[in-house]
Amino acid sequence: MRTVNVECTVDAQEETIYTCPANCQAHVSLLFFSNVGGTVTVDVEFDRADGTHQHIVGGKNMGTGEYVQFSDGIVVMEPGDVFHITATGATPHVDAMVTVEEFFLTPR
């Protein structure tokens, strides 16, 4: 298991929270992000390696100190799947993290 994090401090710049490595499957048990300062709009996207796309959070307006936590389920990621976050605002500062359990795949 591991937890990875990223800071969003540039207006409208997409940041990668986590990319599932080529040699494993990952189970995401926690997605957490918080707004540290200012008013921002946050988007979190799940991009599948097969080209499909899912908005986990779309256009969430957040004031200073607000946070969002998803921890009551599991998201299964396949090799090459990616979580992205974008914070839009005058001076954004959004911290995001995911906790994943990686399962290494054996060659077939």
Residues 6+ apart with CB under 8 A from 13: 86
pLDDT of 108 higher than 80: no
Cα–Cα distance measured from residue 41 to residue 35, given in angstroms and rounded to the nearest whole number: 9
| pTM summary value | 0.92
**Following DSSP, what letter does each residue of 32-49 receive, concatenated?**
EEEEEES-EEEEEEEE-T
Is the confidence at residue 107, as pLDDT, over 80? no
Distance of CA 71 to the CA centre of its chain: 13
pLDDT tens for 75-98 read: 999 999 999 999 999 999 999 999
